[in-house]
Structure 1
């Protein structure tokens, strides 16, 4: 085998590996879409320097809600109707 044939074989095997990985990743990927008026949870990020809802550590809530969707901002971004409490 010459040098160019080795390179072609390497590229072919890399492409085959990428195709297998893509096929596996797409098996478990679901495109979710919501419509205006749907009720959804809002994900909150617990910051180490900031307490949320007076609960510390692993017990902090990860999601709050339910909030109504007012409109679509992007492909996966939505405007929520947040209530002041």
Structure 2
């Protein structure tokens, strides 16, 4: 009876292509995630401005999404054709 351990055949080394495919997929997923995060963060930024800063301070210019600090003056609210207009003052 022979009790010497058997030697397993050498496992073939994974091919170079097979090794790079998961790394490439991971890199693409990370890059796509970075692009999505950067895009949504920059488009979701609201600028906080006082009424007297609109048009004066950087970030408070016309055409941007703003959050404005101020008080709506009594009697200035006008609603016409789906549009609401009012005057805001800063205390």
TM-score, structure 2 as length reference: 0.32
Q: Which has the higher contact order (CA 8 A, sep 6+)?
A: 1
Higher Rg of the two aligned structures: 2
